Structure 1
Amino acid sequence: MDITIHRLDGLSDPLRAAWHRAMDESPEYANPFLAPEFAEGVGRFRGGARVAVLREGGRPVGFFPYERNSFGIGRAIGLGLSDCQALVHRPGVVWDTEELLKACRLSVFEFDHLVEEQKPFGAHVTGTFASPVLDLTAGECGYAEWLRGAYPGLAKTTLKKERRLGRDVGEMRFVYDERDPRVLRTLMRWKSAQYRRTGRMDRFARPWIVGLVDHLFEIREEHFTGVLSVVYAGDRPVAAHFGPASGTVFAAWFTAYDPEFRYYSPGLLMHLRMAEAAGRHGVRVMDMGRGEKEYKDWLKTRELRVGEGFATRPRPVAAAHRMWRRPVRGLRNTVLAHPGLREPADRLLKTVGSLRTHAAPTPSIRMTGNRTGPSTRRSGSE
């Protein structure tokens, strides 16, 4: 196996086409987070983003995007943002993990949403987790009819709230692929406020994440399109979602709504309308991403499994990194796995968020364009 390393800002058209071909040949790699467009987008705003290209007989057969720091610590591309990670390869390709890490000059490679099929990484997986998906072709008449049959009460209540919102505020309108960047700014403000209310890290306070989302919003390709979906009441947006879509898979990513309308369940309404519209646009699967949420349990038709862990080489820095990161992950997973712990933790975070929200205003979110200067090249975190 021949392995070469490439910068993502100089990926050639033939390599990009070979990457797309590998996605097309294996359904488990059809997720837009595995597309070169996502990796290239991260590379515009993050230092150390690279892709290892695996060749057999001189032909590119595998693509391994990653980020590397100066200490040889590697992480999946967009770790903390990406809901699907893998070495994308053509069917039948086998690789050696240690050989791969050596070629990439990595002492450790950290991942948290690894596709279950990645057998060479199997010995390095420390835990697997459910990632709910919606089969938009479920049943004879599609997903909407499947949901009405599986959860008739949920569908009836949601549609009733939709009609009530239309009467109270204005005629309901759903736009699957909204191209107005001002609505994207509104979504970011809502999401930023939500993060702060709930005590979570505000991702949109990080310029590189704002820049990445702006960049992905402009991409409209066969294997990757940034899709902004909006629920309007009259001319007023009440809920919005932004996420990437490939030709067959739509990834749920950033969803938020105007809290003034929370009693109308706008988030659930958004996902229902989004699933219907995505199915009409030829999408077969909506990937909801790892994480236990009640609405995901309602909407899912099945679950995938994704893994987290650390692939390492025998280096002191790898041992130190694993000793530092694994207890943090273990504590988080323990809390998430036990409702008795999760609910008090959520209450604590919301209390902290309430105090933080009253102490400081929500940061403004500015258009970033395609800048790649020092202000955007900051380290992210989960």
Structure 2
Amino acid sequence: MEIGVYRPGELTAADREAWTALQSKAHLLGSPELANPFLAPEFTLAVGRCRRGVRIAVVREEGESVAFFPFQRTRFGVGRAIGLGLSDAQGVVHRPGFRWDPRELMRACGLSLWEFDHLVEGQRPFTAGVRGEFPSPVIDVDRGYEAYLAELRSRSPKFTRSTLAKARRLDRDHGEVVYVHDERDPAVLRTLIGWKSAQYRRTGRSDRFAHPWIVRLVQQLFHTRQASFEGLLSVLYADGKPVAAHFGLRSDRVLACWFPAYDPAYAKFSPGLVLHLRMAEGAAGQGVAYLDLGRGEKEYKDSLKTRDLRVSEGWVARRHPVAFGHRAHRAPVRALRNTVRSRPELFGPADRLLKQVGGIRSKK
């Protein structure tokens, strides 16, 4: 086994094709979780144009590329999953049956530690480093949109009736409702970013779009159009005006939901829920198997989902002083955050406090 480590610009066209082929065949070869667009070469290359330290380890056996491991590295040898904190799927993209030694991989990459927060299922060599496992809800549309809607009606009849009725009222009160699954107008993307940024501030969360590199990343991905990967902007209009929008990433089989938001002036019509139903219909029409709503407990995700995937967080480390120091710093923070999120009696007050802080920030 030979491991080569490359900068994004050094990755050959043949290696990119091999990486894409592994993803395209993943569902046929027993590893459907590897089809997520966050694991695609296009996502890693886009991050590499916006951030320093991006590298790709390519594992070869008898001259054939059999695995790809993208990561970000600091000058102190601390490794992070590509887009840590942003990406919803992380790990090694590999051929069926391939196994690797995590510490050998770390040594070859010059890493003392590799940290992840959305490790996909099936990454058995990394499981010793898992510190927490979490549900990532999905909407299955492989049997078609009507089959999904029928299941939703059966499981949550009140929710389904209410959401569809709100869509009709939006159409009646504010003009014709039109859904565009693949909107190419960059002005609408800017509108979505503005909505999302305001939502982060309003709810007391850190505003991701206050970081220019994240704005650049989203804009780059919006303009990325490959047969097996694209940035997808979906928009719900009422009387020609956008009222809800979503930007995510699509591979052959998966639509990864990423940045949904809506105009608060239309909140009573639940335009975000209406949008997600339309997105499910549009994705089914494209031959997508499922929409990955991403890790995180949200009421709308529980209402829309058909099942859960599992993702993990943690780190793989070598015996190295830098690794010990990084774990000592990060472990208490992660443990506290996950305890608050997993316990309603703690999460409720914390969430209300964040919103109060957000309200103060929004008035400034």
Tell me which interval the TM-score lies in, with the shorter structure as reference length. Answer: over 0.9
Distance 1:273 1:140 in 2: 9
Partner of 1:316: 321
Change (3 A) 1:29 1:332: same
Partner of 2:18: 18
Distance 2:15 2:137 in 1: 31
Cα pair 2:22 2:93 within 8 Å, conserved: yes
Greater CA drift, 140-149 or 204-213: 140-149
| Counterpart residue type for residue 30 of structure 1 | A
Q: Aligned-pair distance for 1:145?
A: 2.2
Q: Aligned-pair distance for 1:142?
A: 2.6
Distance 1:145 1:12 in 2: 46
Cα pair 2:145 2:284 within 8 Å, conserved: no
Q: Aligned-pair distance for 1:116?
A: 1.8
Q: Aligned-pair distance for 1:326?
A: 1.1
Cα pair 1:144 1:276 within 8 Å, conserved: no
Percent of residue pairs bearing the same amino acid type: 58
Pick one of 226, 242, 256 that aligns with 1:237: 242
Partner of 1:341: 346
Greater CA drift, 48-57 or 159-168: 159-168
1:56-103 CA distance string (max 9 Å, x none): 111110000000010101000010110000100000111100000001
Pick one of 205, 219, 224 that aligns with 2:210: 205
How many residues get paired?
Answer: 359
Structure-to-structure mapping, 1:277-356, within 5 angstroms: 277-356=282-361
Distance 2:8 2:73 in 1: 13
Partner of 2:170: 165
Structure 1 gaps, min length 5: 360-382
Partner of 2:96: 91
Q: Aligned-pair distance for 1:267?
A: 1.0
Cα pair 1:25 1:90 within 8 Å, conserved: no
Partner of 1:175: 180
Change (3 A) 1:61 1:181: same
Pick one of 196, 199, 212 that aligns with 1:194: 199
| Counterpart residue type for residue 352 of structure 1 | V
Q: Are 2:268 and 1:263 equivalent residues in the alignment?
A: yes
Distance 2:320 2:145 in 1: 54
Distance 2:11 2:146 in 1: 42
Partner of 1:3: 3
Q: Are 2:111 and 1:111 equivalent residues in the alignment?
A: no
Runs (4+) of structure 1 moved beyond 2 Å?
137-142
Structure 2 length as normaliser, TM-score? 0.97
| Counterpart residue type for residue 298 of structure 2 | K
Partner of 1:146: 151
Q: Aligned-pair distance for 1:10?
A: 2.9
Report SS of the residue matched to 1:201: coil
Cα pair 1:83 1:290 within 8 Å, conserved: yes
Pick one of 136, 141, 145 that aligns with 1:136: 141
State the superposition RMSD in angstroms.
Answer: 1.1
1:296-349 CA distance string (max 9 Å, x none): 111111111111001001111101101111111111111110111111111110
| Counterpart residue type for residue 57 of structure 2 | A
Greater CA drift, 188-197 or 7-16: 7-16
Q: Aligned-pair distance for 1:213?
A: 0.3
| Counterpart residue type for residue 304 of structure 1 | L
1:98-150 CA distance string (max 9 Å, x none): 00000100011000100120000011101111111111125894312221222
Distance 1:127 1:116 in 2: 13
Cα pair 1:139 1:145 within 8 Å, conserved: no
Cα pair 1:9 1:44 within 8 Å, conserved: no
Pick one of 217, 222, 227 that aligns with 1:217: 222
Partner of 1:76: 81
Cα pair 1:239 1:258 within 8 Å, conserved: yes
Partner of 1:61: 66
Cα pair 2:115 2:314 within 8 Å, conserved: yes
Distance 2:239 2:12 in 1: 46
Report SS of the residue matched to 2:225: coil
| Counterpart residue type for residue 12 of structure 2 | S
Pick one of 98, 105, 122 that aligns with 1:100: 105
Q: Aligned-pair distance for 1:9?
A: 2.4
1:15-39 CA distance string (max 9 Å, x none): 0001011112322210000000000
